[in-house]
Amino acid sequence: MEQSFFGVIGLGVMGRSLGLNIVNKGFKLSVYNRSTAGEETMVSDFMKDVNSQNEVLGFTDLTEFVSSLERPRKILIMIKAGNAIDVVIDELLPLLSEGDIIIDGGNSFFMDTNRRKKELKNEGVKFLGCGVSGGETGALKGPSLMVGGDKNAYEIVAPVLEAIAGKDKNNNPCCTLVGDEGSGHFIKMIHNGIEYVEMQLLAEIYALLKEEYSNDVIASILNQWNQTDLSSYLLEITSKIFLKKENDAYIINTILDKAGNKGTGSWSSKIAFDLGSVNTMMSSAVFARYISSFKSKRSQLSQNIKSENSNKNIDLNDLEIAYRFARIINHHQGFELIKNGSQSYNWDLDLSEIARIWTNGCIIRSDFMERSIFLLKGGKNYLDNEEIISFLKNNESGIINILNTGLINRISLNTFYTAYDYWVAITTNRLPANLIQAQRDYFGAHTYQKIGFNENEFFHTNWNNHD
C-alpha cells in the first residue's frame, strides 16, 4: 500500500474542511475518526466528498491509520481542546517512532502546549501547536495558521501547511512559525480576544442604530463603511446578516440575545492579568457576553425600569469616527499583550509578521490589519505613529458624542466606553494613583515613591502620628 504524506485525526467541521483542503492541494492524505455513537459514518462520509478516493485513505482503527503514513509521520489532531488531546496523544505514542511529528490544530491553552512539547520531546516525538483561524470556510479555502514549536519540525510540515493557508496580497502564505513552544496557540488566543472586541463593537453599533433604522438601512450603513479604510471581514458579514430573511422575517430579529463563548476570550484576560498588560477592551467584551447570558435575570429586572428614549438622533459621522477610534485601541491593546507575552516567555515574536498572516484567512482580517504590517515594524506600537495619535487626539469629540448618546438613551456601550477610558488614562500625565499608594502605605506599610526622587527610593509614613 502506498503511504500517505500527511494524516488528520478528527473529522469534525474544522478537521473535515482542512482535510479536503489538503487533498485539493494534491497531497496524499490519511484520515482517522473514531466510530463511536454518533460518529459512525464520519470517515465514510469524508471519503465520499473527496474528488478521488485514490488520494485519501480512511480509517477507524488508529494503528492502521499510523501505519499508513510515511516517516517521519506528520499527524494533525483536530479535536476538541483539553484532556481529549492528551488522551489521543497517549494512544498515539506507542505507535510512533522517533522524529515523528504531532500537530495540535485545536484551540488549546498555550500552557498545555508548552507542557505537551516538553513531554513529547522526552519521547523523541516532535510537537507543534497550530492556531487555526477562518472558520469552516477558511479551513477549506485558506485559513490563517499560527504555528509554534520546533523549527525543524515546522520545516518538515511547512509544504502542507503553507499550501493550504490563505495568501496575502503578495501571494505569500498566511502561515508562519511565529515562535517556540506554545506561541502559536498564544497568538491564536489573542486573535480571538481581538475578535471578541470587534464583534462586540458591531453589536453596540447595532444597539445604537436599531431603534432608529431598519435592518436594510443598517446593512447599507455598514456596507458603505466597508468601502472605506474600515473594511473588514466582520463588517462585511455583519452587513449581510441584517439582510438575511427566512419566511419573510429577518433572521436577526428571531435570534435570542444570549451570546456564547468558548473560553479563548477569557484566557486572554487572565493572561493579561498575569503579565501586567492592559487589555480592558477584551475583558469588557467577555463580560458583555457573560451579562447577555443572564437572559432571565435581565428580563426580570427590566420590568422595573421605565425606558424613556430621548429620540436623540445618532450622528452617523460621529459613529463612524467612534468605531474607527475604538478599533485602533482594540488592536493596540491586543498587540501590546502579544509583545508582553513575547518578552515574558522569551519567544521573540515579530508583531509585523503576525499582522501579515492575519491579513487573510482569519476572522479579524481587515484593511487596518494590512496597514498594521507597517505600523508594527521594528517592534513599534500603534501609539508610536504620529498619524494614529493625531487621529485619536483630534477625534475625541466623535466618540464622546456617541457615549453621550448611549447614556441619554440608556444603551449599554461596554467596549466604546472602555476604549475612550483607556485613551484618556494612557494620555493623562498625573493619575490619582498617588492616593492609592498612600492608602496602601497607610493600612499595609507597602511604601511609596516620591516625586523628584530616585525611582529606586521608597518611603513610608506613620499615618497615625498626628504630629
SS3 label, residue 336 = helix
Mean local confidence (pLDDT), 164-179: 97
Asked whether the predicted pLDDT for residue 388 surpasses 80, the reply is yes
Q: Which amino acid is at 9?
A: I
* Rounded CA separation 437/451 (Å): 13
Say if CB 307 and CB 385 are below 8 A apart.
no
Q: What is the pLDDT of residues 229-255, one digit of tens each?
A: 999 999 999 999 999 999 999 999 999
- Per the model's pLDDT, the better-predicted residue between 259 and 86 turns out to be 86
Q: What is the pLDDT of residue 54?
A: 59
Q: What is the pLDDT of residues 29-46, one digit of tens each?
A: 999 998 888 888 999 999
Q: What is the pLDDT of residues 312-368, one digit of tens each?
A: 689 999 999 999 999 999 999 999 999 999 999 999 999 999 999 999 999 999 999
Known catalytic residue at 339: no
Residue 17: Cβ-neighbour burial (10 angstroms; 0-12, 13-18, 19+): buried
* Rounded CA separation 408/311 (Å): 9
SS3 label, residue 10 = coil
Q: What is the pLDDT of residue 325?
A: 98
Q: What is the pLDDT of residue 236?
A: 97
* Rounded CA separation 185/347 (Å): 13
DSSP-assigned states of every residue in 180-224: STTHHHHHHHHHHHHHHHHHHHHHHHHHHHTTTS-HHHHHHHHHH
* Rounded CA separation 102/119 (Å): 12
SS3 label, residue 350 = coil
Residue carrying the nine cell digits 485519501: 56
What is the percentage of the chain residues whose pLDDT exceeds 70? 97
Asked whether the predicted pLDDT for residue 465 surpasses 90, the reply is no
What is the percentage of the chain residues whose pLDDT exceeds 90? 89
Check 181, 195, 204, 336 and give the catalytic one.
195
Residue carrying the nine cell digits 515613591: 449
Q: What confidence tier does 2 reach under pLDDT thresholds 50, 70, 90? A: confident
Length of the chain: 467
Q: What is the pLDDT of residues 79-111, one digit of tens each?
A: 998 999 999 999 999 999 999 999 999 999 999
Q: What is the pLDDT of residues 267-292, one digit of tens each?
A: 999 999 999 999 999 999 999 999 99
* Rounded CA separation 129/147 (Å): 6
Asked whether the predicted pLDDT for residue 194 surpasses 80, the reply is yes
Say if CB 183 and CB 350 are below 8 A apart.
no
Q: What is the pLDDT of residue 306?
A: 78
Q: What is the pLDDT of residue 233?
A: 97
Known catalytic residue at 393: no
* Rounded CA separation 26/64 (Å): 22
Mean local confidence (pLDDT), 145-156: 97
Q: What is the pLDDT of residue 260?
A: 78
Asked whether the whole model's pTM tops 0.85, one would answer yes
Asked whether the predicted pLDDT for residue 53 surpasses 60, the reply is no
Q: Which of 309, 332, 308, 323 is nearest to 401 (CA)?
A: 323
SS3 label, residue 279 = coil
Angle at 324 between CA 376 and CA 330, to 5 degrees: 55
Q: What is the pLDDT of residue 172?
A: 98
Check 188, 336, 339, 370 and give the catalytic one.
188
* Rounded CA separation 266/341 (Å): 16
Q: What is the pLDDT of residue 307?
A: 67
- Per the model's pLDDT, the better-predicted residue between 409 and 74 turns out to be 74
Q: Are strands 126-133 and 101-104 parallel, antiparallel or unpaired?
A: parallel
Q: What confidence tier does 211 reach under pLDDT thresholds 50, 70, 90? A: confident
Q: What confidence tier does 264 reach under pLDDT thresholds 50, 70, 90? A: confident
